[in-house]
Structure 1
């Protein structure tokens, strides 16, 4: 193989893995501008539509625990293909959903399917690339994930305006189909099935328990997951805030959502530069403290009805910037102690992140208040509780295992 072919093959492989990684974020963000249309279509209050977002988060949380053992037992491609088939079927089901409850259930099933893509892409990076290149590959995939919240709501806004909200799920189903064809035809099987691996509940539960009871894991996994739940609250509540409270249309909301996501993406890249001088355990408490201060200002301003659109955007941007420093460092620290159980630790970390995030999204969706107060209080609570968990848990860690300098951990 020539060097040019090697480079093109490398690029194509990264492209396929990147689309697998982006499937879940696209599924989360692309239909957000359609919330008012979905609410009108089903005759419900707009905040209740966010229950379909919460069910998606719950599906991702449960699915990560499911696919970890399956990918080790049966190889990477077979569970991945089955998951993508489930995703495509559920996406088409969403097109024909006749009630909000049916949409909520179908979104849960859609999330279970998308999980296969998320978990398999991470596992295949470890399989297909040398260890020394993993950080670089994960960084490239992070850029794809980061681009998703910038592109998906914008595209969703235009699709919804032109064809109604049902068309968004047709687009997602078509995306799933194209990814499925790429996986079948061009993605190599990267892992030989391990027929000795037990899928009995006992050994699997024991493995998860070993990880969960490690002080460094539970301190940073819960700190990161609780802090990250503020982002889920923002994603769940932002359609109502911007389109109902501030009366913006779906297209404008898509552009604002994209612009705010630059803070999270940009700071996650700046974090890589900071790691050359500081350790992850030094960065996390500073970023959390700043996020707590920003969230208190946000909540106090919302409570007193002082938030203009501009001040809200500034505070949300700063909050998301802090998240860009917190998320990669807590993820790296909670995975650092593990070599043998790294896959189990990664699955458990992702499940905690999505499960706690689903709780935050549900809390926001249950309030019909036409104000930014529920969102602001939920985001504030997540930041302050995460800070308490960090400072309480650090005392239980006898010797912190350092995360590798310059490593990049893919968030789910």
Structure 2
């Protein structure tokens, strides 16, 4: 009697893996433009804060609330828009969100007082959230696992460059107009982005895979995601790594200029060098993924970042080595974060491709929320190197603890999707 061996199933290529090089490049450019609108909206008007204070006759604390409003809109908006993108597809929530951003930007130009400006900045944040969520969800629709981490590493190049260039662009705009002109530029960019998204971004979520948009179904989906211990752990790891990065951004100017006496140009060079280190690390991640799994890169980078952050704290407390030693340790931490940031989301979202929008929203909200907490925490602790180093080290240490205790890399295994139980289609 003859026996027949059953051949192993042939792996099914994801839609993104069927793209050629030109199609992938176009996708990166479109999604990179979507991601850039967030940093530009948040950071481009920072150089104008003093002039807004003078023009509207308000206090510095009042104008800072407009920034808080933007961040709040961006965080809350992701939680709302994520489920909507799972229910109605990616394009409609995206285009509606960018249109809201354009409208809010135009109205900011005409804002008569700080109260109106603050409310409009919240609307800007809501519109920006659509771009952030949909960009991540589209990548997950098309790619998974190492391929997701590879493409996301390319997008982090934009995420790293945009916040650095945004204040410089804002300063340039202020050279020929007042603070209201910055919102004109944001409105124009939003219109361009609306056209680019409408013409260059196809729908990536088939109708058959869409989910219910009802509040009960949405809450059920969020509940199911939160019951996935590994997913929650990876989301927290991504958020804590982001918190370390935000702590550096929030405290670096006070430390380098106030404590170590750098002028504005010297600070710009030092800050830019750190950003270059982070960006180079994200691009190195693409090469590393050809030889190692995202799990291994994530564990190694977080351990290295924690060691560097501990050394950073020691340098800050003792003053040993001065500013050069402090910067060297900081740059290693940033490089480690640059390796961790693409891989933690890739591992998390690979578990829930069927609810990519909702999962991306939860991931973005946690990342943004922990980062937003880290920034003022540096100010509460002080303006010196010790305060900044404490928060940076705290974020990295907590990330490693969560990874080892909650995620448990040895149990992470293959990147097989884990269905969200009980969610209505």
After TM superposition, is the score higher than 0.5?
Answer: yes
Task: Report what 1:407 is aligned to.
Answer: none
TM-superposed deviation, 1:214 = 1.3
Query: Does residue 391 in structure 1 map to residue 396 in structure 2?
Result: no
TM-superposed deviation, 1:207 = 1.2
Change (3 A) 1:213 1:289: same
Q: Is the 8 A contact 1:58 1:354 kept in 2?
A: no
Query: Does residue 360 in structure 1 map to residue 361 in structure 2?
Result: no
Among 341, 347, 362, the residue aligned to 1:327 = 341
Change (3 A) 1:302 1:45: farther
Among 221, 225, 242, the residue aligned to 2:239 = 225
Q: Is the 8 A contact 1:150 1:259 kept in 2?
A: no
Q: Is the 8 A contact 2:152 2:342 kept in 1?
A: no
**Aligned equivalents of 2:267 and 2:110: distance in 1?**
25
Give 1 or 2 for the bigger CA radius of gyration: 2
CA deviations 1:36-81 (Å, max 9, x no partner) are 65667666458x8665544433332222221122223333333222
User: How many residues in Structure 1 have an aligned counterpart in Structure 2?
Assistant: 396
Change (3 A) 1:292 1:102: farther
TM-superposed deviation, 1:24 = 1.0
TM-superposed deviation, 1:217 = 0.9
CA deviations 1:323-351 (Å, max 9, x no partner) are 01221222222223334233332222122
More deviation in 91-100 or 81-90? Answer: 91-100
Query: Does residue 24 in structure 1 map to residue 38 in structure 2?
Result: yes
Task: Report what 1:149 is aligned to.
Answer: 163
Change (3 A) 1:223 1:72: closer
**Aligned equivalents of 2:84 and 2:213: distance in 1?**
8
Q: Is the 8 A contact 1:30 1:156 kept in 2?
A: yes
Query: TM-score scaled to structure 2, two decimals?
Result: 0.77
Task: Report what 1:377 is aligned to.
Answer: 390
Q: Which runs of 5+ in 1 are unaligned?
A: 1-5, 405-412
More deviation in 381-390 or 161-170? Answer: 161-170
**Aligned equivalents of 1:144 and 1:96: distance in 2?**
30
Among 265, 274, 286, the residue aligned to 1:272 = 286
**Aligned equivalents of 1:171 and 1:329: distance in 2?**
34
Change (3 A) 1:167 1:325: same
**Aligned equivalents of 1:49 and 1:237: distance in 2?**
19
TM-superposed deviation, 1:22 = 1.5
Change (3 A) 1:106 1:373: farther
**Aligned equivalents of 2:360 and 2:104: distance in 1?**
26
Query: Does residue 66 in structure 1 map to residue 73 in structure 2?
Result: no
Query: Does residue 341 in structure 1 map to residue 355 in structure 2?
Result: yes
- In the TM superposition, 1:41-56 aligns within 5 A as 44=59, 52-56=66-70
**Aligned equivalents of 2:204 and 2:108: distance in 1?**
33
Q: Is the 8 A contact 1:158 1:251 kept in 2?
A: no
**Aligned equivalents of 1:56 and 1:321: distance in 2?**
28
Q: Which runs of 5+ in 2 are unaligned?
A: 1-19, 417-425
Change (3 A) 1:310 1:161: farther
**Aligned equivalents of 1:330 and 1:372: distance in 2?**
28
**Aligned equivalents of 2:268 and 2:102: distance in 1?**
24
TM-superposed deviation, 1:135 = 6.6
Query: Does residue 120 in structure 1 map to residue 155 in structure 2?
Result: no
